[in-house]
Every structure is written in C-alpha cells, then in structure tokens.
Chain A
Amino acid sequence: MVGTVKTLLKSVRQYKKPSLITPLFMVLEAFCECLIPFFMASMVNEVQASATATMQPILKYGAILIGLAALSLTSGVLAGRFAATASCGFASNLRHDLFYKVQKFSFANVDKFSTSSLVTRLTTDVTNVQQAYQMSLRIVIRVPLQFIFAIIMSFTINAELAWVFLVIVPFLAVILFSIMRFVMPFFRRIFKKYDALNASVQENVSGVRVVKAFVREDYETKKFQKAAGEVRNDFTKAEKILALNNPIMTFFINLAAVLISFLGATAIIKSGTLDGAFSTGDLSALITYGIQILSCLMMFSMVFVMFTMSFESARRIGEVLNQESDLVSPENGVKEVKDGAIRFENVSFKYSQKANKYALSDIDLDIKSGETVGVLGGTGSSKTTLIQMIPRLYDATEGEVFVGGVNVKDYDLDTLRKEVAVVLQKNVLFSGTIKDNLRWGDESATDEELVRVCKLAQADEFIRSFPDGYDTYIEQGGTNVSGGQKQRLCIARALLRKPKVLILDDSTSAVDTKTDALIRKAFADEIPNTTKIIIAQRVASVEHADKIVVLDGGKIIACGNHDRLMKESEIYREIYEAQTKGGSDENEEGGAL
C-alpha cells in the first residue's frame, strides 16, 4: 500500500507547491472556525452579563468576528483554489504518466492489459484518485487540527465539563471504525459484482443480434435479474449496516449535549451568578465544540472509507506505472540496418514464463535480403508469432534473431522498427484523413510520394473515386471503408516507410485475387531489394515466393519453393488441393472473392 502511494505521489511534480500551500490555508481556516464560536460565546456572555446592555461588547466582538470571518473566507477561498490546481494538476500528471508509460510498453505488456482496462485506468481510476487527493489535501490535515483545536478550546472554557467529550470520543471512535471495517469487505465484493454486472450489459448490447436470433431475451433478462439481485442484496446489507452510523453519531452528540446542558446549567445555577467562571454563553459554545469534535470523528471514518475505496483505483494505476517494459532499447544501439537479410537461430518462444507450451520451437530460418518468403499454416500455428520476432515486438525466449546480420537486441528499437515494416493482421486506421493515416508511415512524405505508394498498393484508384480523394475523412476504426480498402491503405502506409523488410500478416485476405496479384507484381517490380514476408491463407498469394515456410504447431515442418514442397510436403499438397478442389482454375485466380 505504501509502495503504491509512493509511486503515485511521484506524479505530483510541479504541483508540489499548491499541494503544500493548500493544507496551510486549510489550517488557517480551521483555526478561524474554531475561534469563531469562542468569540461568539464571549459576545453572548458579555451581552448577557452586562445588565445595562451596551453596544460596546457587541462592537468589539463583532469586529473580531468579522476579522476572523474575513480571514476564514480568504484562507478558505485560497485553499479551495490551490486544492483545485493541485488535485487537477496531479490527475493531469497521472494521466500523462500513464499514457507515456503505455507508449513505452512492449507487445507483451500490451497483451497483459486489455484496451478497456487501460482506458478505465486513465479515466475513472484517475478521477477517483483525484478526488481522494483533493479530499486529503483539504480534510486530512484540517480534521485532526480542528479536532485538537476544539478539544483545547473546550478545555479552555471549562475543563471539568470538557471531560465529557474525552470520555465519549473513544467509544464513538471504536464503534464508527468497527462499522467501517466490517462494511469494507462488503463493498469490495460489491464493486467486483457491480463491474461484472455492467460487463454483462455491455455483452448483451453488443451481442443483441445473437440474443434475438436465438430468442434468448427472457433468458438474458433472468440472468440479468439474478446478477442485479445479488448486487442489490449485498448492497442493501452493507448500506443497512452503514445506516447505523448516523443514529449512533447523533446519539453520542445528543448525549454530550444533554450531559453538558444539565451539568452546565447546574454549575451556573450553583455558582449563583451569570458572569461567573462559567456562563450560559460558554454553555452553548461548549456544545458547539462538542459537535465539532464528534463530527471530526465522522469525517475521519468517511475519509477512511473513501481512501480504502480509491485505493483499488490507486493500485490499478500503480500497476501500470510500475510495469517495466520488458523490451528496452539498448543504449547506443545500432542505428543502421545494413540490409534485409533475416536469420532465426534455434528460436523458441512462449508468451509467458508460466506457459508450459511453446508457441514457437526450434526455428531455424535463413532469409536472404530481397527474397520473397511465404508463410503458410493452420489457425493457431504461430505464423504471426514467428514474424513478430523480426521487428522485436517480442523477444525470443531461447535462441537469437538477426536482421541485416545484427542481433535484433543490439539495434536501437526505433531504427529496427523503421526498417522492418509490419502490416498487422488486426490492422487499424485512425480517425483523420487518408493523408493523415498514410503519413503515419512517413510524416514528411510529399503528396506525390503518397500517390506513388498508393499506386503500388493498388489503392490510388479507389481513393480517387471518393469525392474528397486523399482528403477523405476516415472514421474511428476505419468503419467507412471496406475491409479490402482498409487493407490496401495499411499496405500503402507501410510502404511509405521504405523499409528494408516488409511483412504482410494476412493483409490481403479481403482483397480480390486479381488485385492481390497486382500488389505482388508491384512489389516485385518496384521494391525488389526489400525482403518481403507474406503470411497468407491462400496458396495463390505465396505460390511464387522464393521460399515458402509451412508451420504447424509452432514448428517449421516444411520449407522450400512451390515445386519442391509439392513434391516433398504432404501438408502443403493437402492445403493446395483443398483450395483448388473441383479442379477449376481457381488456384490461379478465384481462390477467394
């Protein structure tokens, strides 16, 4: 817990000043607020005592009170403003640090946190921590001070009666804190259930077609009712316990008030004088302080609850901040990639240390610069895993990968990834114009260059058919272009990098075969020196490659050109025949529509 708080507090940085000033003004405000009832009481005392009422005490104390109120106002307002700056600034820094951290993440790190959990951490969790921070700046310092001030003041007024509070305080404290401790586990459990409930609504909304197609509306409603009912029962239980807080608090405050009133009145009467050591004004002041003291306890228990609750958020933020990227660019890494030659030396890989199964095992592969290599294999045969080793998106568990004759671990990461362009299977376009998206490849690319790569990727034609051409706005996730168009834009984007190695991970699956062939031809003609690695489901896409790698269960089971594999690899033949079943000319042109 302390560790997490420490991690988070590192993000306060330039807001240290307001963070420190806020409590100072808070102390001033608390000080004023403690003195105000005291002077109010003194005023009442003197007014009451002077049988011949004069304005003098009223004006005297009025002036003091107004002075104090002005001071309290100023410090309160200033504290409020500084607290706003400090807490919002802290939150802003936290978001900044989280975002920057994620930018440093490796693929393995990204896999560990889901998109939605990262978004929640950057938004809701930060907001919760921000609230807790502001609360602690304004309350955590102020409440104990107010508590101590109030106790001192009440002892100043009448030490004998003030003992009443000191007797009551421990009782109330113990009871309040036991309630909180008792309720906290409930809340933690509830929040988990609550999150699950929301997740199930999300699932239902996005799967509405399935629900309706299988006529599962009633089933879903029952499922939801059950989950919502559970949340309700737990919540009600917890809230009922929490509902004891208020009456108990009231009970003790009132107990104090009754005791003080009774003892106080008795004392005054017995003293036989109104302006003696203890007066009626003191009586009301004492009760006010009593309420302050006991309210402080209430505030304490509240802050305690809120801290425990936001701690979960803090922990989740700390988890990201403390996550060390397991892929770090070496210092003074090699800044130049000589050529596109690739070598795998006895590479094995598993996604986590704990996994007992290797995703890749004993991979030995030699690719010459400028070669075209096809990768084939069934669902789950680790084709994608294999190529992700090349731009060092993951590090091999065993063995080494070399690009341009240099171990990928020795390269400056940016340099390596700049020279090894990957068109991912799950590719993404971002909201912005087509030009914006393409320039991800090269920010300084001229319009002519954009057109050139789009022509290579067979994208120029359809882009020009849009009313806004290259300035067409792409919606988030690229929902307003078709799958095939999206893939070609992604290829163009990668081409713009002018990489030494270009990897296409099933990147033409939605492109028709003719265009697919045109793209391949363009590659061969225009970028002959670039090493091209193509993962495909269609044999046609890789048939003419210099080398075809067939993967199965994370192992290379065959490697060679088409003719050789047709002769030597049964699996390759099987795939080939499965796709050309019916004996038409489909393998040439019609593998897919």
Chain B
Amino acid sequence: MAEQKTYEQKPRAIRPMRGRGMPVPKGAIKKGTLPRLIKTVFKYYKWQMIVAFVCIFFNAMGSLVSSVFMQSLIDEVITPAIREHLGYDGVRVKLITMVIGMASAYMIVIIAGFFYNRIMAVVTQGMLYHLREDMFAKMQNLPIKYFDTHAHGEIMSTYTNDTDATRQLIGQSLPTLLSSSLTLLVSVSLMIWYSLWLFLVVAVCTFAMTLVVKKIGGNSAKYMVAQQHSLAEEEGFVEEMMKGQKVVKVFTHEERAKEDFERLNAKLFKDSERAHKFGNILGPILGNIGNFTYVLIAIIGGLLYTLEVKNIGASSLFFGLQTLSIGTIIAFLGMSRNFTQIVNQMSQQISMIAMGLAGASRVFTLMDEAPEHDDGYVTLVNAKKDENGNLVETQERTGLWAWKHYHKADGTTTYTELRGEIVLDSVDFGYTEDKQVLTDVSLYAKPGQKIAFVGATGAGKTTITNLINRFYDIADGKIRYDGININKIRKSDLRRSLGIVLQDVNLFTGTVMDNIRYGRLDATDEECIQAAKLANADDFICRLPDGYDTMLTNNGANLSQGQRQLLSIARAAVADAPAMILDEATSSIDTRTEALVNDGMDKLMHGRTVFVIAHRLSTVRNSDAIMVLDHGKIIERGTHEQLLEQKGTYYQLYTGAFELE
C-alpha cells in the first residue's frame, strides 16, 4: 500500500520566481511545439532520456507491485496462517520470501528514482542552457527591425519567464505526467482485473473529479490570467512612477500618485484573491472526492459481498465467476486511494503544462525569426603594397585596407584599396511598406570628406546612416562603397569599416577599459588610454575611484550623460575604422568640453570619411558638405558659406527663424 512516489515533491516546485511574475499565456500556442520540444530534448540527450524513461517505468511498476503486496500478504500469508492454522512456522518461508520480494521491488524503485533524478537534473539544466544559448545566438543575427518592433521587456521575458516555464515542463510536468499515466494505466488494468463492478464506481467518481477540475480549474486559470494582466498593468504604472519619481517629488504629486496606485492595487488584489481561492480549493475538493470514493467502494463492495453477487472482472475469464473476497475489497480500497491521488496529482500539472507549452512556444517563435539577410561576399582585409606597388593581403594591421573581391565569372580575386568613397544613388527607403521615409536621396562623399546632415527630427538623418551600415536595406536605388555595391559586401566587413558613435550611449557591464576595448578586442591598454585621451575622457576616467579599472554597471549609471558620450567616442576611436558615423555624438557634452573634444575629434576624423549628424552648428560648420534634409528629401546642399548665401532653409535654421525640433 505504499503510496505513489511523486517527483513533484522536489523543492523546485516551490522555488521562488526569478523573472517578473508568471508568464501570461498570450496568443495561441504554436502548432507542433510539444513534438519539437521533445525532439530537441532527444537531440541533445538521447541516451539520458532513454535511461530516464526506463527508470520512470521501473519506478512506476515498482510502486504498483508494492501496492498489491499488501493484498497478497493478507490473502496468502496472514489469513491462511490463521484460518488454516498453519502457524508462524508454516508460513515463515513464504513470509520471508514475500518481504524480500517487496524489499527488492522497493530497491528497484529507489535505484530507478536515484538515476532518474540525477539524469533529469543534468537534462533540465542542460536543456535550459541549450535553449538560452540557441536563442541568444539566433538573436544576435536578427535584423535591427526585430528589436524595433518588439518591446525589450517582452524579449527579456522570453529569457526569464518563458524558459522557466519550459524548464518546469521538461523537468517536472512531462515526467510526472508520463509516470502518472503509466501507473494510471496499470492500476486501471488491475482494477478491471479484480472487479469490474468496483471499477465502475471508481470510474464514476473519476468523472466527477474531471468535472470539478474543469469547472474550478478553468475558473482558476481564468482569474490567473486576469491577475497577470492586473500585475502587468500595475508593474507598468510603478515603472513609470519610479522612473519619474524625482518629478513626482518636485511637483509634490505624491498624493495623486498614491490614489492612482491604490486603484490598480485594489484591482490586482481582487483578481489575485479570486485566482488563489479557486486554486486553493481544488486540492481539498479532489482529495475528499477521493475519500467519498473510498467509502462508496467499501459500501458497494460490502453489499456485493453480503448479497454474494458474482464478481465480474478480467480475472473471471481465467478463474470463472466468484464472489468478491474481502482481500480483493481491501486491495481495491488501497488501489482506489492510489488512483484518486494520481488523478489529483495530474490535475495539478495541467496549468503548469499549459504555461510550459506557451513558454516553449514563445521560445521557439524567437528562434524561428528570420535572421538578418546577408549574401555579401566581398570582404575587408588588411593590405600592404608590395615592391611593385600592388596591393597584397596581409595579416598584420597596416592601417591600409582593401576590399577582397572574388569574381565568380572568371574565378579571379581583385583587391580594391579602401578609400572611403561612398555614393548614394537615388535611394528610397521606408521602415514599413506603406510609409516612405527617404525619397530619391543621392549624395557623394569623397574620401576624407566630412559630410553633415541637418534637419528636423524625423527628417531622415539617422536613417541615412542606418542604410550605409546596412542596419536596414534600401528599397530602391544603390549605395556604393569605393565603387562596390554595398549589398555585395559582407555585412560584418562593411560594419567593421565604419566606426560609429550613437546618440544613445550603451555601455556594457565591465571595466571602463573593457568598454573602450569593445571597439577593437585586440587593442592594448596603451591604445585604449590613447583613445581615451583623444576623446578627452582620460581626465575624468583618472578621477574615477579605480581609474580605468572602475566597474561600470547598469549602462554606466554612475557616469553623467556627457561622460558616457566621451567613452563612446573613445570606443569608436580605438576601433580605428576607415570611415565614421557620428550621430549626435557630442549632444550632451557642454560646449567648453566639446571645444576640447573637438581637437581630438579633428585628429580622429582626419583622413577619414565622416558622416556627422549634429544639433549644434559649431559641430557641422566646418563640414565639406552639409545636407539639409526635410521629410526624407535633401532640399539643400553645399558648404556652410554656400548655404548661407542661398538664404534658404539652412539660413533660416541658422538664424533661428526656423525651428528644428
């Protein structure tokens, strides 16, 4: 009568969540998620899984054997010993054999359980690792567009909540379900073997349990979802308020904030209370239906026994119709307890399975996103000139770069020196099909020139630079780099040739030195410090507690916006790329510091083709050409002086008659 060993009893079932809240089942679960998940598990852990299955099988069987043991012990040893007056000595051998048999069955259960648990620990954690790693590697190759169109919180939740839910599914729900179904199957067969009548009683009660699960479980799931929504809503509000906490204080807006919070918090309470109420009562109800079943079987069994109704069961086929024995009824009572407990257990897994599948489905969706398209084959190599003045490829860093161009037609490879000539020829582009952002943009940057873009927010300045490094692909027209269509250049090489400083600075967790070195991984400390000096960042870095070894966390939260921009410039400087894009690189640096930075920037820009987007006129004034953009079109172009003479939009912008932002 040993009860079902459950894998559920492991502490991981109640481990606190690390992600924010539970995953909200949204959208439909992708078709084929379960088979795919199982396939993936088998891909990495075929043998482990097979061994685990064998273990589950033995475990389930062993538990069952022990549950019939009591019946045999009573019917075959104890009763005969007393009724037939065999005495202790008469059954001693049988008793000891039986106890040894039982102990062996238990040993199998224990050994199987031991291996099963260890294997699953390895498999679950391993799968989690593989899923994460796969997801991350795939994510690195997704186009920028993906990140534009998906909320970052949503992506994060795939790494935290969804993988967590998937882990539950792999490590717990599916194995439990498997072993429960196995035992369920066997105990149904056993029950049918012993007595069909009594089994019918169990079946009716099981039906009742299913109805309860459907009703209460359904309600619980419904309010659980409502709770998740309220939680998300409150989280959104809290996030906004915490971010704006200083503004709240400056405006003594605390009371209003509290009122709004109160409203959301009350709703969350109501929903979560309901969800938990339904969740909490499911267990007691099912458990007591089990108890009722027990009593019902006893009564009906007793009636059948007293009325000497012929028992029908699968065993009747072999032994003919007999009346119900007391031992059978007792064994049946034990089995029914077991049975209802398993049903209870399985019902607890249902919501976990639904959540796990939803999680796995989202993990797979992320993995299935189409990666960034790249069929470029022209590569960027270090080059030097041999004695004849021809370009040859070399391994060391010479400062001279060449495009290695393999021509399929005649099987030859040519080298073109990288000079930084960039041409846009009638380029059209839109982030979405229906809204064109750039129309017929043509421009010409000669090697070493500084080209500036000026225009209102949304005029398309950043968009142009995004097209040059192929964050996005153009809809129509051509972009040529040293005469080569950039679609032919391998994306990674194209981007390596372009140093970039973005307006929104992103720093990574690590030391200041690590962050500068991000620009070129093999740069020496000396080179990084040199770059920092060029960007005029050395000064403030040296004043940090640990200088270049100061740890930056949380996107460099302990630095000012201006300091972060200086680091970002240093990072681009160390990359030492032949061409550069500076998108509002100095917008947060005060003018006095900017003056200092500018000297460095001038050195940095010297001899490179540079695209500059800037807010301040002083930054763009000395450009070789200034492009004035309006609604995705270049409306004016020329040098500062030329444009002033034209007395057009630039002149108006410049004199402040017109507003940019």
Contact = CB atoms under 8 A, between A and B. Distances in A.
A473 B389 CA distance: 64
Interface string A275-288: 00000110110011
A286 B41 CA distance: 42
Given A482-B661, A590-B654, 7 more contacts: A65-B298, A80-B279, A103-B254, A235-B125, A245-B11, A305-B14, A378-B592
B280 interface: yes
Contact of B239 (A115, A301, A377, A537): A115
A512 B656 contact: yes
Contact of A205 (B147, B562, B563): B147
A284 B78 CA distance: 13
Contact of A443 (B256, B280, B283): B256
Interface in A499-534: 510-515, 517
A84 B82 CA distance: 53
A254 B99 CA distance: 11
A101 to B, nearest CB: 11
A336 interface: no
Contacts of A393: 246, 249-250
A140 B68 CA distance: 34
26 contacts: A29-B284, A66-B291, A66-B295, A69-B292, A69-B295, A76-B283, A88-B273, A95-B268, A118-B238, A127-B16, A203-B555, A216-B518, A246-B117, A261-B99, A261-B102, A265-B78, A265-B95, A274-B78, A284-B330, A284-B334, A298-B9, A379-B563, A424-B246, A493-B251, A514-B656, A578-B594
A224 B621 contact: no
A298 B562 CA distance: 57
Interface string A395-429: 00000000000000000011001100110101110
Interface stretch (B418-426, B430-438, B494-502, B525-533): B494-502
A36 interface: yes
Nearest to B253: A440
A220 interface: yes
A36 B103 CA distance: 27
B43 interface: no
Contacts of A434: none
Interface in B92-129: 95, 99, 102-103, 106, 109-111, 113-114, 117-118, 120-122, 124-126, 128-129
Contacts of A155: none
A221 B10 contact: no
Interface stretch (A1-9, A160-168, A206-214, A363-371): A206-214
B152 A269 contact: no
A302 B250 contact: no
Interface string A87-124: 11101100110011011111100100011001110111
A85 B240 contact: no
Interface stretch (B18-26, B345-353, B476-484): B18-26
A243 B245 CA distance: 46
Given A246-B10, A258-B103, A513-B656, A84 B16 contact: no
Contacts of B160: 198
Interface string B148-170: 00001001100110000000000
Interface in A167-206: 180, 191, 194-196, 198-206
A134 interface: yes
A424 B250 contact: yes
A548 interface: no
Nearest to B284: A76
Contacts of B365: none
Nearest to B7: A246
Given A43-B298, A214-B519, A284-B70, A99 B261 contact: yes
B113 A246 contact: yes
B140 A47 contact: no
Nearest to A245: B10
Given A103-B258, A270-B88, A512-B660, A65 B78 contact: no
A582 interface: yes
A124 B17 CA distance: 7
Contacts of B456: 482
A246 B5 contact: yes
Contacts of B10: 242-243, 245-246
Contacts of B239: 115, 119
Interface string A49-78: 000011100110110011011101101110
Contacts of A427: 247
Contacts of A305: 11, 14-15
Chain A facing B: main interface SS: helix
Contacts of A218: 140
A201 B106 contact: no
Interface string A360-387: 0000000000000000011110000000
Interface stretch (A145-153, A225-233, A449-457, A557-565): A225-233
A73 B506 contact: no
A203 B515 CA distance: 13
Nearest to B568: A210
B124 A76 contact: no
A128 interface: yes
B140 A53 contact: no
A441 interface: yes
A439 to B, nearest CB: 9
10 tightest A-B CB contacts, nearest first: A76-B284, A80-B280, A484-B661, A207-B506, A514-B656, A243-B117, A84-B276, A239-B121, A254-B106, A58-B302
A426 B247 CA distance: 9
Contacts of B124: 239
Interface in B571-600: 571, 575, 589-595
A55 B280 contact: no
Contact of B268 (A53, A92, A200, A288): A92
Contact of B306 (A54, A214, A251, A391): A54
A40 B122 CA distance: 42
A319 interface: no
Contacts of A301: 11
Interface string B354-371: 000000000000000000
Contact of B82 (A62, A91, A273, A511): A273
Interface string A574-593: 11001101100010011111
Contacts of A483: 457, 661
A350 interface: no
B81 interface: yes
A545 interface: no
A212 B147 CA distance: 12
A330 interface: no
B110 A250 contact: yes
A431 interface: yes
A87 B272 CA distance: 10
Nearest to B250: A422
A265 B102 CA distance: 13
Contacts of B205: none
Contacts of B617: 586, 590-593
Given A58-B299, A246-B113, A258-B106, A379 B593 contact: yes
Interface string B1-15: 111010101111011
Given A80-B284, A123-B21, A243 B120 contact: yes
Nearest to B82: A274
B441 interface: no
Contacts of B593: 378-379
A201 B295 contact: no
A205 B140 CA distance: 9
Contact of B498 (A213, A251, A274, A515): A213
B463 to A, nearest CB: 13
A62 B298 contact: yes
A358 to B, nearest CB: 14
Contacts of B555: 203, 206-207
A381 to B, nearest CB: 8
Given A76-B284, A100-B258, A284-B334, A58 B656 contact: no
A128 B2 contact: no
Contacts of A514: 655-657, 659
